[in-house]
Amino acid sequence: MPSTMRAVVLQGPEQLTVEDVPVPELLPGQELVRIAACGICGSDLRYFAGENPWAKHTLGYEKPNPPGMVLGHEIGGYRGDTAVGCLAFKSCGRCAECRRGEMQLCAHTAHLGHGAGWEGQNPGGMAEYCPVWSEHVYELPPGVSVDEATFLDGLAVAVHAARVAGGFPGDAVLLLGGGPIGLLIAQATKALGAGEAVVADVYETPLACARELGLGRTANLREGGAEALTGEGFGVVFDTTGDLGAQQMGLGKLRRGGTMVLMAGAAEGLTLGPATLAGERRLMTCSNHRYEDFEIALRLLADGRVRVGPMITHRFPLEQAAKAFEVARDKVKTGALKVILEVDE
């Protein structure tokens, strides 16, 4: 085992380097996974911009990022010669949230690629090796590639969102924002019983992907496609954009008894009028996922009820991480959906 490895390190806002760093020291119960691929998530882009989305959405406040973060939590790799996917966080197991089984809300979580819960090192999956808790290393079933395994974290988030939202079976759901999380939620809700998943966005790439995946209607809101959103209302509306206009519109699309789930938190200035939540409409946020959601995600991927291959638009070697982030951030221009860093070539 070498003493150093190549890794993508965030030193500060928009200060991203690929450099040699020490191979992380293992904590009790951890093992080193040899990384093959790591996805760039929307939260990675927010860390790159100087935000701390984990603290904002789980703890409810902004928190400075530690220096020298190794980014990445969407991991596919190898334990020896065995292909594995990795659940990227471990909660404390002692706090009130953990005792209630709500480990996704634990304030003391150690989370790979998020700079959370570590002292002296901030490991992540955009590196040649990553320390993962042994019970959170999952052998991939036949037919699931290490590239596809990079979607397991996001798919677990989607499964958790679908489960806490409720509203089906047979209901129509609306996805505001057709990026990877939106497309994963759309597929997860259908796999768990939704009747139709309608995807709305402002550019064509995710809408074309939604059609390729066999989802419901699509709506290009920039080109006057809102007519696809007419009808009796949706049982669940998921907003992945964090955009004020999208959230206000989404609230107006709920049927009585429906739920709107804010995946990126409430937008600044969001207003609720006297009738907004009438008729037992609900508004809620959603954070991370539970351990069992990851296992459900793996089954959905293995049995083909969720497909992720069409969502991969770009691959870059680890050394070109800066270019990969540029492509992922400028998605309207580049047509990016999911950008993957290939580590073990």
Nearest to 121 by CA among 261, 26, 190: 26
Share in percent of the chain as helix, strand, coil (round to 5): 30, 30, 40
β-pairing verdict for 15-22 and 4-12: antiparallel
Strand ranges, E, within the chain = 4-12, 15-22, 30-39, 69-70, 74-79, 82-86, 89-90, 110-111, 129-133, 137-139, 172-176, 196-201, 218-220, 234-239, 254-262, 282-285, 312-317, 338-342
Q: What is the mean pLDDT of residues 279-293?
A: 96
pLDDT in tens, 198-236: 999 999 999 999 999 999 889 999 877 777 687 778 999
Calpha distance 262→264 (Å, rounded): 6
Predicted pLDDT of residue 231: 72
Q: At 242, give phi and psi (nearest 5°).
A: 70, 10
Reply yes or no on whether the pLDDT at 345 is more than 60.
Answer: no
Q: What is the CA 169 to chain-centroid distance, rounded?
A: 24
Q: How confident is the model at residue 186 (pLDDT cuts 50, 70, 90)?
A: very high
Residue tagged 């459900």 (tokens): 296
pLDDT in tens, 42-68: 999 999 999 888 888 888 888 888 888
Measured at the CA of 304, the angle between CA 302 and CA 306, to 5 degrees, comes to: 100
